[in-house]
Structure 1
Amino acid sequence: MKAIIQRVSKASVSVDGEIVNSIGNGLCVLIGIKRDDGVADVEYIVRKILNTKIFDGDKGKRWGASVVDKKYEILCISQFTLYHVLKGNKLDFHRAMPAQESEPFYMNFLAELRKKYIPELIKDGKFGAMMEVCIQNSGPVTLEIESPIKSISNDDIGDVENKKVSD
């Protein structure tokens, strides 16, 4: 699972020319879901979205506060194109989870985000729709976060066991 997190002073998402959701200060998060993502990936991405120190803290300390600390809003947008592969100049999306599986997965992600934060502060677009996303990036600050890769070859197991792995 992948999240492109953008610190924004405002953001909105429109479908067919109508705004379906908007936020003020907070995060606009583009979410990509790959074929083999599971519950652990959701938990990791939710934790990172909510806890990464992306805002100025009290007394102006740079990188001192999370979206939770500030009680800011989050606008999530599903974006399967984050798991693209370029074959020459042609796009291929075989790494992305198919829509029939990814829609309930994405809805579960939103439910988990709402469960761990203030539900009214979590907004989203319209899954599967052609959306227009308008952001006013603050900073600009943009982070790419991907859940750890679960599949490890047998050759790598010994190396991983000998290292301390952290977020």
Structure 2
Amino acid sequence: MRALLQRVSDASVTVDHEMIGKIGPGLLILVCAMQGDDEADAEKLAAKIAKLRIFKDEEGRMNRSIIDSGGSALIVSQFTLAADTSRGNRPGFSTAAAPQEGERLYECFADRISQLGIPMAKGRFGADMKVALTNDGPVTIWMDSNA
């Protein structure tokens, strides 16, 4: 699985003019299941993100995890993280998991984040979403469960 993390002061996701998820300080996590991914990949990625020390401590150093900082997560599915731009000018997405499998693994990932004690909100898989955020830092990190 792939994820793009953005440390935020706040973030929200809207579908059809209705806000369906909102958080305060924490992480906006854009996530994509890739072909061949399974539950172990979702759980591994969630565990790594939960422990990643990218929040400031008392001295202003990135030394605290989302759990340590009491932050929340907004989890949004984004198949475009699978983009292959190696040929031509139009990205290909054939390495992304099929939609049904992608949704299953997205839900597995979100469930694992919640089980780890991180308050979270979600987008809606497959929907046309509008995501708003206030980037904090900015801190943006790319992760892959197979890396």
Q: TM-score, normalised by structure 2?
A: 0.94
Higher radius of gyration, 1 or 2: 1
Measure the CA separation in 2 of the matches of 1:105 and 1:5.
Answer: 17
1:53-78 Cα distance to aligned partner (Å, 9 max, x none): 11111x22401111100111100000
Which SS does the other structure have where 2:43 is aligned?
helix
Q: Which ranges in structure 2 are unaligned for 5 or more consecutive residues?
A: none
- Percent identity between the aligned chains? 38
Bigger mean CA deviation after superposition, 96-105 or 131-140 = 96-105
Structure 2 counterpart of 1:83: 82
- Once the two structures are TM-superposed, the CA of residue 44 in structure 1 deviates from its matched residue by 1.9
Cα distance in 2, alignment partners of residues 75 and 50 from structure 1? 13
- Determine whether 1:144 maps to 2:127: no
TM-score norm. by structure 1 comes to 0.83
The one-letter code sitting in structure 2 at the alignment partner of 1:84 is A
Which residue in 1 is equivalent to 2:127? 129
Greater share of helix residues, 1 or 2?
Answer: 1
Structure 1 segments, 4+ long, off by >2 Å, are none
Aligned pair count reads 146
Structure 1: 5+ residue stretches without partners:
150-167
Can you list the C-alpha shifts for 1:19-75, whole angstroms capped at 9, x where unaligned?
Answer: 111111010000011011112211221112111111111x22401111100111100
- Once residues 143 and 84 of structure 1 are traced to their aligned partners in structure 2, the CA distance between those partners, rounded to angstroms, is 17
> Which residue number corresponds to residue 6 of structure 2?
6
RMSD: 1.2
Q: Which has the higher contact order (CA 8 A, sep 6+)?
A: 2
